[in-house]
Amino acid sequence: MVKVAAIQMCSGVDPERNMRSVEKLVREAHAAGATYIQTPEMTGALQRDRKGLMEILRPEATDLIVAGASALAKELGIHLHIGSTAILLDDGKIANRGFLFGPDGGVVTRYDKIHMFDVDLDNGESWRESAVYRPGSEARLADLPFGRFGFAICYDVRFPQLFRAEAVAGAEIVSLPAAFTRQTGEAHWEILIRARAIENGVFMIAAAQAGVHEDGRETFGHSMIVDPWGRVLAIAGGSGEAVITAELDIAEVAAARRKIPNLRNAREFEVKETAPDRAAVA
């Protein structure tokens, strides 16, 4: 058994102010008994203006969120997962990068968001993450004392092959920090998270951004923790800061996979077009 927490935020454009919110909410989650705590995508800052983003960007070695989270994890003796923050890379490009810190303050693993949110939605809402961020190319797993973790970020949830590959590789819990738009969240957020949990027999922990942000965007919130049978163990509201917690019994992963052994039953197949039967037509 392990108690986990998902922190819901409404990050602004100032990393220092956002880090103060992280510290307050992490301490609240720790006081509630959580030993793994996850923050949302873009914890450090939500800033859609590229010039404004470049002005606050730092490389990993000097990033405020990285340093602050490392110190906080060590002080509290917890696994602290910064869902993601923008990191300046050596070539001048930007990574949407998540960090999992261990109880010693060290980085257990990093994960760069693989799938870029390049979409055109209704009502003129349009996003082009690939114009700003360099996509990652590696799925990541981490063995923690209470289970094997897989990693994803936000739009990754729409690519089930990532979750299946991590589950086949032994993931028992998959993290999904996010900053879902209100429009897409209202339509798809809960059903996608529950589907990924059910089809892979994994716990899902999804810390979300929520509310109207300083840069003008609106995010859906509803941070969630879901079990391998698709049951919602905890869910937050649709705006503002929140801390949700749940007790995870990792044995439920094996139990769900015994009941529905789809990972084991999967088969290779080919997709072929069907040619018309011209003789039958004649």
Residue 120: pLDDT over 90: no
Catalytic one of 154, 166, 172, 218: 154
Q: What is the pLDDT of residue 48?
A: 80
Q: What is the pLDDT of residue 282?
A: 56
The verdict on whether 10 is a catalytic residue reads no
Q: What is the pLDDT of residue 209?
A: 98
Catalytic one of 10, 113, 166, 218: 113
Digit-coded pLDDT (tens) for 216-269: 899 999 999 999 999 999 999 999 999 999 999 999 999 999 999 999 999 999
CB-facing half-sphere around the CA of 100: CA atoms within 13 A: 22
Residue 214: pLDDT over 60: yes
Q: What is the pLDDT of residue 50?
A: 82
Residue 63: pLDDT over 90: yes
Q: Cβ–Cβ contacts within 10 Å for residue 267, how many?
A: 4
Q: What is the pLDDT of residue 281?
A: 60
Q: Which residue type, as a one-letter code, is found at position 267?
A: R
Q: What is the pLDDT of residue 113?
A: 98
Residue 158: pLDDT over 90: yes
The verdict on whether 41 is a catalytic residue reads yes
Q: Cβ–Cβ contacts within 10 Å for residue 273, how many?
A: 4
Digit-coded pLDDT (tens) for 163-189: 999 999 999 999 999 999 999 999 999
pTM for this structure?
0.94
- For the chain, give the percent of residues with pLDDT over 90: 85
Q: How far is CA 202 from CA 29, 38, 183, 251, 263, in A?
A: 22, 17, 27, 11, 11
The verdict on whether 28 is a catalytic residue reads no
Confidence of residue 119 (pLDDT cuts 50, 70, 90): confident
- CATH class of this structure's domain 2-281: alpha beta
Strand ranges for the chain from DSSP E: 2-8, 36-38, 79-88, 94-101, 107-112, 118-120, 126-128, 141-144, 147-151, 173-175, 203-206, 210-212, 218-220, 224-226, 232-235, 242-248
Residue 208 near residue 146, CB atoms below 8 Å: no
Digit-coded pLDDT (tens) for 33-62: 999 999 999 999 998 888 888 999 999 999
Q: CA geometry: angle at 110 spanning 7 and 36, to 5°?
A: 35
Q: Which residues contact 16 (CB under 8 A, 6 or more apart)?
A: 64
Q: What is the pLDDT of residue 92?
A: 83
Q: What is the pLDDT of residue 279?
A: 67
Catalytic one of 41, 166, 172, 218: 41
- The Cα–Cα gap between 232 and 236 comes to 11
Residue-averaged pLDDT of the chain: 95
Q: What is the pLDDT of residue 131?
A: 83
